[in-house]
Structure 1
Amino acid sequence: MRFYAACLASYNNGVLHGRWIDASSDADEMQEEVSAMLRESRFPNVMVKCPKCDGRLELCTVCGGGSREVPSAEEWAVHDYDGLPSSLGEYPGLDKIAEFVELCEEHDMTGEDMAAIVSHFGSVEYAKEELENNFVGVHESFRAYAEELADEMLSAHDIKADHPLSQYFDYEAYARDLTHSASAVELDQGVAIFHA
């Protein structure tokens, strides 16, 4: 998972300047990458603390020593995503990206699969809430989930697959009815099931 951080000072001057940054659960780590990209801009519009010495070294290779500030551009935006939901927008805030990565790690999902869940629920916050409170699991299909659930209920009443009553159970109708009390999100690895 990564995103393309673009320098807006460069963009406004007709120059494409930015870099692909690996998404991380550490917002500070990503901020360091963004700040480094902004300091490389050909169109600086602010002065920032020297990232190497913070103005404390006399022979600093970045600021030359004694200077506490170096030129930098100030504003940036996300112009592309890879494995992250585009619903994060152009100005997501690195904390939102970090929260998304944490969610992927916590649920052992790829960025694409988690992006599908976020898209289904409309926001990272709501998806996180649904994953914590209503997530059943990932199944091969909704029908497979319904069949597994039906088999568990039948076996709880000692009705095995070879029992004469089991042939009268309509798995397809049960799966259809179950869609009213559960929702499914299509993923690369199957279907994520949530209680409604």
Structure 2
Amino acid sequence: MKSKKGDIRIYVACLAAYNNGILHGAWIDADQDAHAIRAEIQAMLARSPIAGAEEYAIHDYESFEGAPISEYEGIKEVTEIAAFIAEHGKLGGALLEYFSDMDDAKAAIEDRYAGEYRSVADFAEELTEQTVTIPESLQFYIDYQRMARDMEINDILAIETGFEEIHIFWTT
């Protein structure tokens, strides 16, 4: 499921206030351009109970689907991650969690995505049936579970995003 506008948020805290024992910050929609986020951060800092506040940190985040966001993540990177999550939902978060790199996650989904299946064995069965003609007398002797296991060891990355929701990626 793809995220809706406003679901993907970061909580940005004023460090001057935080260092003085005051919690001051704002939840900001991360699925917008970096300029808009920076403007909201500046507005939050301008409202700070500590005069002249300039420094901030990301103290929390929501709906990033498992993708890690650090306290001092760059705003440009936050917007890229949020856009990727907004477009790809749980799968995008799982890819970022697995690869820890936006370029690798994008390459996987753009170049190596094989599809969504109920299980890796279902993928093995479909691939086999599409590429090989199996004599009727041998169809019941094929062990797709073992084929799936071998594929996971050698050829594919399988990411589970839900019950019977397996996404398959070629590793090469």
Task: Give yes or no for TM over 0.5.
Answer: yes
- Number of equivalenced pairs: 161
**Conserved 8 A contact 2:85-2:93:** no
Query: CA offsets per residue over residues 33-77 of structure 1, 9 Å max, x none?
Result: 1111111101132xxxxxxxxxxxxxxxxxxxxxxxxxxx21111
**TM-score normalised according to structure 2 size:** 0.83
Match of 2:121 in 1: 143
Percent identical pairs in the alignment equals 36
2:39 aligned with 1:32, yes or no? yes
Query: CA offsets per residue over residues 100-153 of structure 1, 9 Å max, x none?
Result: 122234xx422x432221111122232123222322223222222222212222
How has the CA–CA distance of structure 1 residues 191 and 11 changed in structure 2, closer, same or farther, with 3 Å as cutoff? same
Q: What's the offset of the Cα at 1:10?
A: 0.7
How has the CA–CA distance of structure 1 residues 141 and 25 changed in structure 2, closer, same or farther, with 3 Å as cutoff? farther
Structure whose CA Rg is larger? 1
Match of 2:88 in 1: 109
Match of 1:165 in 2: 138
2:159 aligned with 1:185, yes or no? yes
> SS in structure 2 opposite 1:9?
helix
Runs of 5+ unmatched residues, structure 2: 1-7
How has the CA–CA distance of structure 1 residues 34 and 150 changed in structure 2, closer, same or farther, with 3 Å as cutoff? same
Structure showing the higher helix proportion among its residues: 2
**Conserved 8 A contact 1:113-1:188:** no
Structure number with higher relative contact order (C-alpha < 8 Å, ≥ 6 residues apart): 2
Q: What's the offset of the Cα at 1:177?
A: 1.3
